[in-house]
């Protein structure tokens, strides 16, 4: 997988967890085609944790090998909004990406 910008990484992670349910590091690495946990954490997990979009299933043990990540209520709302945007095919892909990135910028405020 090629490098992605932060808003796109957030959308990818939200869509993935929203469609499958809680996922652990190994499952996320496999889905993204990555081999580096540090890259996964810095690019995908940390931004969504900081924005309150995902949460740890074992918050008291952040480095547990059994740790998984699930959507928060805020993440669920964003997941539904993204699905609606994609399913309605509103404009060209570039316009949809722009709308999603604007939404994400305002969402975390």
pLDDT of 95: 54
d(CA 106, CA 87): 22
Helices 6-20 and 93-107 sit at what angle, rounded to 10 degrees?
90
In order of start, what are the domains of the chain with their CATH numbers? 6-107 (1.10.10.10)
DSSP string, 58-96: STT-TT-TT-EEEE-HHHHHHHHHHHHHHHTT-S-HHHH
The predicted structure's pLDDT at residue 1: 45
Q: Write down the pLDDT at residue 38.
A: 92
Residue 20 has a pLDDT of 94
Taking the C-alpha atoms of residue 40 and residue 16, their distance in angstroms, rounded to an integer, is: 14
Distance in angstroms (rounded) separating the CA atoms of residues 97 and 56: 27
At residue 62, the pLDDT reads 93
State the 10-residue block means of pLDDT for the chain, 109 residues long: 63 92 95 91 92 95 95 92 70 58 60
């Amino acid at each position: 997988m090629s490098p992605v910008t932060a808003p796109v990484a957030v959308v990818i992670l939200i869509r993935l967890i929203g469609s499958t349910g809680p996922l652990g590091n190994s499952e996320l690495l496999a889905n993204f085609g990555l081999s580096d946990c540090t890259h996964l954490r810095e690019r995908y997990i940390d931004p969504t944790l900081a924005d309150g979009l995902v949460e740890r299933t074992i918050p008291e043990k952040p480095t547990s090998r059994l740790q998984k990540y699930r959507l928060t209520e805020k993440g669920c709302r964003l997941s539904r909004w993204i699905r609606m945007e994609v399913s309605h095919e509103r404009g060209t892909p570039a316009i949809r990406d722009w709308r999603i990135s604007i939404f994400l910028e305002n969402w975390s405020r």
